[in-house]
Chain A
Amino acid sequence: MNRRILRRVLSNFMVGLMIGAVVVALIPLFFILLNLVLKGAGSLSMEFFTRTPAPAGETGGGVVHALVGTLLIVGTASLIGLPIGVGAGIYCAEYPTSRLTWITRFVADVLNGTPSIVVGVFAWAWIVAQQKHFSALAGSVALALLMIPMVLRTTEEMIKLVPNSLREAALALGYPRWRTSLSVVIRTTLPGIMTGALLAIARIAGETAPLLFTALGSQYLSFDLDQPMAALPLTVFTYATGPYEEWHRYAWAAALVLIIVVFVLSLGARLAVRRRFAING
């Protein structure tokens, strides 16, 4: 048997297998998008983005309450979660031999694997049950708890990529260690850290379970973080399981909007990486 032909056949076969795997991975994504566009795009209108829902049984209305709610809840969650996650990530990367780092990493990994509904239960027990009412803030806390381990690990990985020679250069100029971290290491990795943050935001924007018994959902436009609030994933959930045909159409449209939001965030993360300032060495 000619070994060269055998080798080529085997090579092509393996490449074929891998292309097949890629196609199989993409098919569900494609059908999800197609399905959402087909069933949801028809319901998108100015009204959909600017009005609150019509009373049950009537037609018309929109999901502006859920859009605003998602922005507020996710924004608050980011305000809580990003500084903690990024800060802890910097600590873990800059003091890799400290015992605290070992513990933090372990806890972050456990937290990363925790089902989001468990985190929701936690937020319910500690905030909702104590205050005796549902609130958007409780939802934000639950989402922030989900964000922290994600952001922590991406921040740490990004900082580890900074060449040691850069760190030494700053130290040799007399920079104390903490200022070296802040002005050289962090500045160099800022695009990477931002990417991690955006991806974490995209991830939690679609979370439903932690909001079910914290932010609860609402039919009204609300800006009060201390009160129940609507959010896009909750709206999808409510409308999709509701009895009316119109609700089902709105659920598809809201899902489409949610996917678009996540898509835009991910795309922004990609662009941030591409503009990354070149590091040498």
Chain B
Amino acid sequence: MSLLSLKGVTAHYGASQALFGVNLEIAEGSVVALMGRNGMGKSTTIKVICRLLKNPMGQVTFAGQDLAGLPAHRAARMGLGLVPEGRRCFTNLSVYENLYASARPGAWDFDKVHALFPRLKERSTQLAGSLSGGEQQMLAIGRALMTNPRLLILDEATEGLAPVVRQEIWAAIATLKQSGDLSILVVDKTLSELRRIADRVVILERGKSVWDGAMTDLDADVRDRHLGI
């Protein structure tokens, strides 16, 4: 059974339609890459999943429950953990406080997050706003993990980071995958890295899911047609 399922999802920003029919299935314990060129609706799809967009149409179910009408905080408590684009930590709070404020009961605690990102332990008392971009990203992932999610959603988690830091983040995501406890939905443009961790790929084009298949089936023709790479 799918952990997350989107069927025929449409969404609007005011009068402007952004999604025209998105279908997406994520099985328990799997890693799915959501791909597409800029402006194709990837971030809007994530907003729909996390209930951050008002009144989307179509069906979104998580762990067998319809998310329609559910406020964002309730969806998060059901197990949707979002690492948003642009990191967006609580900059006035320290690293420790960011994690502490988000903590919910479950397997993920300070020790596990610190084991995944030792640098967060070193920076514990430092204000989040004074961290480097990579450290803020680690904190954003750590904070999402502290909510003990069943599905971790990473929106452009490595964008704008130095290559060395990107490698660190990808290594952490690979570790999360190996643990097998989490399902992961990852939005990114780095195909070489996605190949290593994603089981399946869903491609969006003009607000519609146009290709859905195994990562191994993502051949040059599909890439050229839908991703332009």
A binds B: no
